[in-house]
Structure 1
Amino acid sequence: MAFRCQRDSYAREFTTTVVSCRPAELQTEGSNGKKEVLSGFQVVLEDTLLFPEGGGQPDDHGTINDISVLRVTRRGAQADHFTQTALAPGTEVQVRVDWERRFDHMQQHSGQHLITAVADHLFGLKTTSWVGVLKFFFFFFFKKEGHHGYTPHPKSSLESWAGDHTPLSCRCGAEDHVEAVKKLQNSTKLLQKNNLNLLRDLAVHIAHSLRNSPDWGGVVTLHRKEGDSEFMNIIANEIGSEETLLFLTVGDEKGAGLFLLAGPAEAVETLGPRVAEVLEGKGAGKKGRFQGKATKMSRRAEVQALLQDYISTQSAEE
């Protein structure tokens, strides 16, 4: 069932009835850092204003008839409230929530949704421990509640969502949200453009370093975690050699990635499909280039051996 705290996350106090009360113990950490065991009672109410710990969110603190509630946990469809004073079943009680703690949790919860959404939308960074990104948009625009936690109602600004946990750049009125998002998008595009320019400059520098290396010739290999097809093609274009086999890869060293084989057209035409097969990927090429996607970048050494064998065989035939 949905508790009162989930149906109305802004309610601060209400009246309900005690259902049961049983002896219990609570393990806590004392001021000296050592674990302590408190004796008390687990009180179950008909409904509760205090959110039980769960779903990655801490529990609420508060009082029942001015008796402190030290911990709230979920047990099936019920919530156990740990107190150090017994409460008789059937007693009508007044429940109050520690609003400062509650509202801080609400702000942090919504702030996490906001940060997660921005990180995913702008940078493609996936969540590993926070709630799904799409839920944030539903909560923000449609005031959807009743999920595993509670979300504050949309106010006149993002600051009302995440308060002190919201970056200053997000603190604008509702009428300015569209303009603020446009500015963020423009800033992101500029950053992406600058990043692309830096990658291009790096590719040119790498190409010249490889070309001037004392190890140049035969088979030349290079792997980088960061990069894309354009990055590899810039290197190949800058080197511009039709005498050397150039094997470039980008991506996870042991997982998936991209590859490019450049060199003499006949050699590339022969070796390209075999390289894709070794890397358990797919590719295509023409005019001395063969590139594609790979799923087993961990087999790059096997590709290098294949290329070296080809060069050795060609040299022996000559």
Structure 2
Amino acid sequence: MALACQQNSYCKEFQTKVKSCTPAELAVPGKSKKDKLRGYEVILEDTILFPEGGGQPDDRGTINDVEVLRITRRGADSVNFVTKEIQPGSEVNLKVDWNRRFDHMQQHTGQHLITAIAEKMYGCPTTSWCLGENISSIELDIPSLTDKQVEDLENEVNERILASIPVTPHLYHDKDDPELKQFRCRGLPDDHVGPVRVLIIDGIDSTLCCGTHVSNLSHLQMIKLLWTEKGKKKDRINLMFVAGGRVLRYLGRCVKVERSLTTLLKGPLDDHYELADKAVKGCKMNQKYVTSLLRDLAVFEGQKFKADSNSFLSLHRKEGDLEFMNIIVQQVANPEKICFLTVGDEKGAGLFLLSGPEIFIKEVGPKVAEILNGKGSINRGNYQGKANKLSQKGKAEKLIQETLSSKDSQVKSQDNSSQEKEP
């Protein structure tokens, strides 16, 4: 038996009965494998909620107003994951998320149309496809397509949409029916049960497919082929496209970006590339100039501290980087002098470096990292690392100074003790 959603993809509401409801768990996307959602797997006598298959994601919808979070296929059954128990044998009302469903119908039928026309025009069969969240892609078995070929393909595809050609599913109840061999197919799933469904676009394509589709190409409204890129295999390409409502949404995003760039670059659309290219080159030149100035400043600060009688330097530079701090230490070239250097956002994250006597930085470095809510280690004789709270720089500096004062007091005490023991 074909599911109700496969017999009539336009059915938005449906009555059926619950065959079973068993406890289950669902992995939560973006979280650890251990973090699972507890719920129930519900199997229905029939359903308008499409389980994932044929490259098409699963539907969303409700069973008695209980949200269905995942739909998979298990043999001939469609398995619905819900968070509330639904009594087996009870009659339920199904509602499909129509916006999601119709979008998938447009993209999936669009893929069939593009696949058929591309193979007819350029002899390149489709090896796989992906229905993405915003943009879909078709992997074609051809090394490349020119811009002109893509344009011609797009024109031909949209001509067929304007012709309002019917799209009809047909069921073959025997999967070994010899007539099925004439239809395009990449193979049935190993656990396939029940009739074989063939989708026919009159005069254009006939292929085995389990997905939901529009009933007429005119319902696709329009298809826009976006660009091509190299596929995973060097002799194949991915053709990116949008169909139906996605064309309008894609165009809407493009208009927003165009208007923003027009304001930012102070020029019309036709000049955007040249203006952006000029801005990027100018930014790179300025960055090189700033980097050069920072290096000169680091040399100056290092030489200045080297000539100073003070033994401790605390310096922050928002625009600096690790190279800036290392240059200062290299210029000081005195392991007895202590440098506490920081770069980055004074109230946020950045980098820090502590240089000085080895014993001192081994003792104080980890404490400084802890105060700055960061991590560090000894590298090239310096204790350096990342800081998440440069706002605590003052506390770290106070710790260093207190430690230095304590060390100085110990040295003076030892010197006085030695002088008293002399005859």
TM-score, normalized by length of structure 2?
A: 0.35
Q: Which has the larger radius of gyration?
A: 2
